[in-house]
């Protein structure tokens, strides 16, 4: 290999200090295996509680105490195995561990399938008395949420059958992940600095490059790999949608979307309002693409022209430690406890910082009750977007930290609907902070462009994805097969609508719809769009307000799963049951586009 040719390092070549420390979960794989055996043995006791829950509050509490400890152990086992697997998706050892805990967890869920039906069968008068008992205090919300599902809970036997099938439910997503993260070989791209590896993680760096031919070659090479496997991937996604529809029908929901939104007690009207509101604000989006085309001096705007900064000279390298300082300084309005806790974690071992061969692409935060709120990153010094990603995932992790420190285990977990508020709130504060640090017009232009791009990706793009999911599930529900041709055709229609007339789509553009991993967690992506809308409103409230507004925001962070998301956000100061926050977020994007246009005229 020449000096100018780079390669993605192996896991073993990453410094220990740059990896997350999973020892708060388990010291090593051997201790994990010991705990797995303990979990299996404890699970054998589950049937002994059957038939006792309605006898008294103490009987119910005995089961819930036991079940809580079992679930805490299960969470530790699952997190450790999954995080080990995401370190290297090609690791047989880690994949064996996730396979083992999946099997054992499914067996435990099957053994406890009687729990919800038995709780629901407790007479209302008795349950009201039980809920006032001191031993039930930490389980009150957990029980109330189970009772809420009464219309959709089946018989003991039916619930057991469903749980027995749950072991295979993740196969489609897992197969997609292995195929695209491990088996796909995207090869390398020739650059002036030598050959550079192309992967799902490095694609963004290539697409931000000022060399248009380099962007085009990276784009075409990347999607050629998806094109050669398009039928396989389309079949995987079709199976996932079919699974969603069948599961909803089994329980009696009106649709797969209704089933998904019921969990968060979110009305389908919220979902539809998001799509209709954003669709009514596409003018600003089309104006942005027209501006981008003009600034880049292109005769045609192509799909691979969307991520290169308008002012490439404003890009700068930012080390991990520098990024942590920037993020924590930006979040200073949240106070010392928040910032010192986050900084200690990021400079410590919360985060798995850099890419290694086989590592899962992208970024995520994985908060648990007993351990650190871990963060997976594929951080790159040359991409300022990764600084924003760090702020984003830090928001998730601190949300987890406050939830775990202020709630009992059985209702500490907040919803994803709420999670996307805490993460994009941090990004919003980071943008505002950086904007104040630079009076250089080129840097300001870069930041405004960056923020517009991020808002575009979070608000407009995720709404487009949400619209695609709705359409795909409606086709399946109506008996229309989701062929690769249909999926590509429907996705292309959305690309044409959202990008407008300025965009010249590539033949491969609609293959993008086959590479979105979030689609395997149905009706998830819309929460990014509602989240950023709420985050912008709350950032205004916290920054412009005083002690009360900050305390309201912390009340939201600390609420965990003690409230449904719409109610939790009302406590923070924003009402997401109305379209107003989405309208306001679209208006913010429109103003960013206007500022971009003005700044370009001044330079």
Residue 19 CB partners (closer than 8 Å, separation 6+)? 87, 349, 352, 353
Pairing state between β 194-197 and 188-191: antiparallel
Across 531-549, b (16+ Cβ under 10 Å) vs e yields: bbbbbbbbbbbbeebeeeb
Q: State what percent of residues in the chain have pLDDT above 70.
A: 98
312-315 long-range contacts, CB within 8 A, separation 24+ = 312/210, 313/442, 314/440, 314/442, 314/443, 314/445, 314/446, 315/208, 315/382, 315/384, 315/446
CA angle (526 as vertex; 524, 532 as ends), nearest 5:
120
Mean pLDDT over 60-69 rounds to 98
Length of the chain: 603
CA-wise closest residue to 561 among 391, 399, 397, 426: 399
Mean pLDDT over 440-460 rounds to 86
Q: DSSP state, 457?
A: I
Residue-level pLDDT at 420: 87
Residue-level pLDDT at 195: 93
Write down the catalytic residue from 75, 115, 118, 393: 393
Q: What's the CA gap between 340 and 328, in Å, rounded?
A: 8
List 302's β-bridge partners, or say none: 504
Tens of pLDDT, residue by residue over 289-342, are 999 999 899 999 999 999 887 776 656 789 999 999 999 999 999 999 999 999
Residue-level pLDDT at 1: 42
Q: Is the pLDDT of residue 243 over 70?
A: yes
DSSP string, 352-375: E-S--TTPPSS-EEE--SSS--EE
Among 3-7, 64-68, 530-534, 578-582, the least confident range: 3-7
Q: Is the domain 172-184+229-316+389-603 a CATH 1.10.1370.20 member?
A: yes
pTM score, two decimals?
Answer: 0.83
Mean pLDDT over 65-94 rounds to 96
Catalytic residue at 393? yes
Residue-level pLDDT at 3: 41
List 374's β-bridge partners, or say none: 366
Residue 54's pLDDT band, with cuts at 50, 70 and 90, is very high
Tens of pLDDT, residue by residue over 183-226, are 999 999 999 999 999 998 889 889 989 999 999 999 999 999 99
Q: Is the pLDDT of residue 136 over 70?
A: yes
Helix (H, G, I), strand (E, B) or coil at 603: coil
Phi, psi of 192 (to 5 degrees): -60, -20
Superfamily of domain 13-168: Oligopeptidase f, N-terminal domain (1.20.140.70)
Instruction: Evaluate the CA torsion angle 19, 22, 24, 29 in order and state its sign.
Output: negative
Q: Is the pLDDT of residue 2 over 50?
A: no
Q: What's the CA gap between 256 and 437, in Å, rounded?
A: 47
What is the topology classification, in CATH, of domain 187-228? Answer: Helix Hairpins (1.10.287)
As to burial, measured by CB atoms within 10 angstroms (0-12 exposed, 13-18 middle, 19+ buried), residue 528 is buried
Alpha helices in 280-351 (DSSP H): 282-295, 320-330, 336-347
As to burial, measured by CB atoms within 10 angstroms (0-12 exposed, 13-18 middle, 19+ buried), residue 92 is exposed
Mean pLDDT over 116-121 rounds to 94
Residue 163's pLDDT band, with cuts at 50, 70 and 90, is confident
Among 281-285, 315-319, 520-524, the least confident range: 315-319
Among 259-268, 303-312, 350-359, 392-401, the least confident range: 303-312
Contact yes or no for 390/323 (Cβ under 8 A): yes
- First-last CA distance in the chain: 43
**What is the overall mean pLDDT for the chain?**
93
Mean pLDDT over 350-363 rounds to 93
Instruction: Evaluate the CA torsion angle 72, 77, 81, 84 in order and state its sign.
Output: positive
User: Within 13 Å and on the Cβ side, how many CA atoms surround 242?
Assistant: 12
Residue-level pLDDT at 6: 65
- Enumerate the domain spans of the chain: 13-168, 172-184+229-316+389-603, 187-228
């Amino acid at each position: 290999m020449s000096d100018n040719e780079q390669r993605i390092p192996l896991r073993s070549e990453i410094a220990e200090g740059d990896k997350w420390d999973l020892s708060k979960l388990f010291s090593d794989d051997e201790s994990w295996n010991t705990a797995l055996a303990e979990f299996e043995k404890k699970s054998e006791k589950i049937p002994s509680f059957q038939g006792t829950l309605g006898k008294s509050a103490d009987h119910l509490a005995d089961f819930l105490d036991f079940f809580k400890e079992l679930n805490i152990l299960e969470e530790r086992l699952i997190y450790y195995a999954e995080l080990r697997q995401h370190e290297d998706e090609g690791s047989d050892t880690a994949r064996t561990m996730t396979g083992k805990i999946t099997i054992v967890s499914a067996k435990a869920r099957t053994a406890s399938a009687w729990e919800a039906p038995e709780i629901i069968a407790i007479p209302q008068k008795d349950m009201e008395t039980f809920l006032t008992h001191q031993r039930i205090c930490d389980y009150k919300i957990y029980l109330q949420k189970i009772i809420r599902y009464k219309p959709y809970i089946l018989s003991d036997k039916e619930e057991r059958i469903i749980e027995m099938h749950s072991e295979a439910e993740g196969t489609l997503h897992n197969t997609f992940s292995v195929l695209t993260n491990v088996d796909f070989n995207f090869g390398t791209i020739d650059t002036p600095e030598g050959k550079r590896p192309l992967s799902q993680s490095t694609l963004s760096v290539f697409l931000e490059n000022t060399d248009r031919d380099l962007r085009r070659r990276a784009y075409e090479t990347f999607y050629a790999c998806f094109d050669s496997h398009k039928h396989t991937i389309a079949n995987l996604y079709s199976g996932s949608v079919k699974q969603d529809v069948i599961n909803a029908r089994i329980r009696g929901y009106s649709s797969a979307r209704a089933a998904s939104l019921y969990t968060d007690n979110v009305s389908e009207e919220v979902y539809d309002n998001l799509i209709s509101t954003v669709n009514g604000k596409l003018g600003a989006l089309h104006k942005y693409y027209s501006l981008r085309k003009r600034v880049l001096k292109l005769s045609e705007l192509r799909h691979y022209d969307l991520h290169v900064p308008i002012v490439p000279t404003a890009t700068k390298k930012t080390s991990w430690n520098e990024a942590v300082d920037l993020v924590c300084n930006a979040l200073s309005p949240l106070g010392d406890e928040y910032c010192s806790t986050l900084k200690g974690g990021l400079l410590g071992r919360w985060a798995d910082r850099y890419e290694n061969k086989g590592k899962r692409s992208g970024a995520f935060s994985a908060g648990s009750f007993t351990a650190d709120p871990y963060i997976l990153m594929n951080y790159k010094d040359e991409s300022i977007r990764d600084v924003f990603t760090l702020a984003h995932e830090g928001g998730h992790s601190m949300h987890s930290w406050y939830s775990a420190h202020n709630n009992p285990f059985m209702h500490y977990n907040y919803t994803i609907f709420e999670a996307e508020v805490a993460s994009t709130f941090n990004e919003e504060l980071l943008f505002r902070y950086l904007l104040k640090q630079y009076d250089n017009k080129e840097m300001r232009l870069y930041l405004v462009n960056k923020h517009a791009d991020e808002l575009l990706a979070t608000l407009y793009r995720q709404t487009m994805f949400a619209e695609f999911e709705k359409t795909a599930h409606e086709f399946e529900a109506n008996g229309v097969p989701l062929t690769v041709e249909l999926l590509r055709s429907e996705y292309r229609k959305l690309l044409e609508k959202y990008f407008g007339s300025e965009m010249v789509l590539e033949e491969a553009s609609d293959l993008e719809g086959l590479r979105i991993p979030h689609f395997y967690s149905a009706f998830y992506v819309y929460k990014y769009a509602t989240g950023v809308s709420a985050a912008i409103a709350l950032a205004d409230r916290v920054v412009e307000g005083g002690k009360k507004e900050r305390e309201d925001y912390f009340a939201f962070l600390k609420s965990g799963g003690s409230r449904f998301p719409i109610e939790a956000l009302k406590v923070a100061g924003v009402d997401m049951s109305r379209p107003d926050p989405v309208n306001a977020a679209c208006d913010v994007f429109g103003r960013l586009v206007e500022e971009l246009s003005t700044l370009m005229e001044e330079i």
